[in-house]
Amino acid sequence: MSPTPTTYAPAKQFVGIAVETSAQGTPAAMTATLLVDSFKPKDSPKFLEDKAWRGAMATDSFAQIPGTQSAELDFGGPVFLDGLGFILRNIMGDLSTTGTSTGTGGTTLSASAAVGATTISTVATIANGTVIQIGTGATAEVFTTGTPTGSGPYSIPLTSPTGGLVYAHASAQAVQPVTGPFTYAWSLLNSGTGQPPSHTLTHMLGPTATSGARQYPGACFSEVGFKWNAESDLFTWDAKATSWPSVILGSPPVSNPGSIAPMASWRMSVGIGGPAAGGTLIPTVMDGEINIKREVNPYFTGNGVQTPYIIQRAGLTVEGKLSFVADSESPYLYMINNTQPQLQLSISNGLAGLAAGSVVFDFAKAAFTESEPDGSKTAVEYSDNFKAVLNTTNAGGSGSYSPCKISVTCNVTPGTY
């Protein structure tokens, strides 16, 4: 009896993700399962052709010489709140984190705290293992504390996440014990080099020797898009990224998906001229999309290796589309009058407590650039395109300008992203 042929079932594949803490392009073991329903990686080595004349009646190359190497990734799926932060950190970069106040144990800083500090000084002591929020607004950040020392003021170690403070904090800023869920607010990173962290994507497919998986390190996202249709679809995302060429993972990875469910698009609410609630809620939007694009370019240098010297992120733009069932000519007037109103889109999972989750897209200024009426259906519709206008209202702790702020609320441990 002949042996059964070896084959691999695509249904068993999965994708992992991890923040790179070493040099860009250094593979990191997956720390989370990124739930997708499409993942199309493509290694893209370049070949240099030798076409020097040799007296032969041919125009093909006489040799194919290995050139530089990189990879392209195209993937996406339903939005899962616990995985979305990885994607937004990669393309946006600037992050503030706030928690849900416990209502007790609050104190203040007794001295200023510098960027990178791994301890803070507080007026009142804070017990070991307390989750605290330092500051408020765009520079808020959340840490778990270590064992306090001193008799007042008190020295409080910041044990997790590692790396110390991301932002400077002035004396007397609030220090408040918090719990989940946490809200992560993403804006455009403008400080330092302006380069967000890179990520390693791990693809467990099967055929790869030993582990069945390949890693794509140094991934930098060039496009992230969101789509929804209230009638028929889940709230979904898709992305494109450029990375270092793939490498074989040494041992099999393990899928460890979370328990958070995706969200139906009918939960999306839209506000124009204010938040997506109250008097500025617009109940007539049927579907839409938001597209974030960033210029990404791998640089190759004469340093003896085929992989990129760096994958550089440059400018970022955000635009989108909304489809309205008309109850007035307002969608057209947003464009023709160039009002550039605040635009806010909010989708929630409808749950409470630690299970509560949401995504809020806030555009302090949205320029509606096209508005097309459609009188061919059972009700008059308008299809509008908009572009985000850079503003300081949506800027994060790194200052300057941002086209939008995207806030994700979920019960994911601070420091995960």
pLDDT digit string (tens) for 162-172? 999 999 999 99
Average pLDDT score over the chain? 97
- pLDDT for position 228: 98
| Domain ranges across the chain | 11-44+68-92+189-251+259-410, 97-185
- pLDDT for position 345: 98
- pLDDT for position 1: 61
Cα gap 19→12, rounded to integer Å:
24
Distance of CA 248 to the CA centre of its chain: 25
Contact status, residue 120 vs residue 207, Cβ threshold 8 Å: no
- pLDDT for position 192: 95
Segment 17-45, tens digit of pLDDT: 999 999 999 999 999 999 999 999 999 99
Backbone angles phi, psi at 172, to 5 degrees: 80, 0
- pLDDT for position 179: 97
Contact status, residue 367 vs residue 338, Cβ threshold 8 Å: yes
What's the sign of the alpha-carbon dihedral 238, 243, 246, 250? Answer: negative
Segment 283-312, tens digit of pLDDT: 999 999 999 999 999 999 999 999 999 999
65: number of Cβ within 10 Å: 10
Cα gap 1→412, rounded to integer Å:
52
Structure tokens at 201: 């994507």
Closest of 85, 114, 171 to residue 415, by C-alpha:
85
Task: Label residue 113 by pLDDT band (50, 70, 90).
Answer: very high
CA atoms within 13 A on the CB side of 411: 14
Token match 């464009």: residue?
335
- pLDDT for position 165: 97
- pLDDT for position 3: 80
- pLDDT for residue 122 is more than 80: yes
Tell me, what amino acid is at 401? Y
- pLDDT for residue 2 is more than 90: no
Task: Label residue 282 by pLDDT band (50, 70, 90).
Answer: very high
Segment 64-109, tens digit of pLDDT: 999 999 999 999 999 999 999 999 999 999 999 999 999 999 999 9
Closest of 62, 49, 55, 86 to residue 202, by C-alpha:
86
For the chain, give the secondary structure using H, E and C.
CCCCCCCCCHHHCEEEEEECCCCCCCCCCCCEECCCCEEEEEECCCEEEECCCCCCCCCCCCEEEECCCCEEEEEEEECCHHHHHHHHHHHCEEEEEEEEECCCCCEEECCCECCCCCEEEECCCCCCCCEEEECCHHHCEEEEECCCECCCCEEEEEEECCCCCCCCECCCCEEEEEEEEEEEEEEECCCCCCCCCCEEEEEECCCCCCCCEEEEEEEEEEEEEEEEECCCCECEEEEEEEECCCEECCCCCCCCCCCCCCCEHHHCEEEECCCCCHHHEECCEEEEEEEEEEEEEEECCCCCCCCCCEEEEEEEEEEEEEEEECCCCHHHHHHHCCCCCCEEEEEECCCCHHHCCEEEEEECCEEEEEEEEECCCCCCEEEEEEEECCECCCCCCCCCCECCEEEEEECCCCCCC
Segment 143-158, tens digit of pLDDT: 999 999 999 899 999 9
Tell me, what amino acid is at 289? E
Cα gap 34→204, rounded to integer Å:
12
- pLDDT for position 296: 98
Contact status, residue 237 vs residue 225, Cβ threshold 8 Å: yes
- pLDDT for residue 195 is more than 70: yes
Provide the percentage of residues in the chain whose pLDDT is more than 90.
98
- pLDDT for residue 399 is more than 80: yes
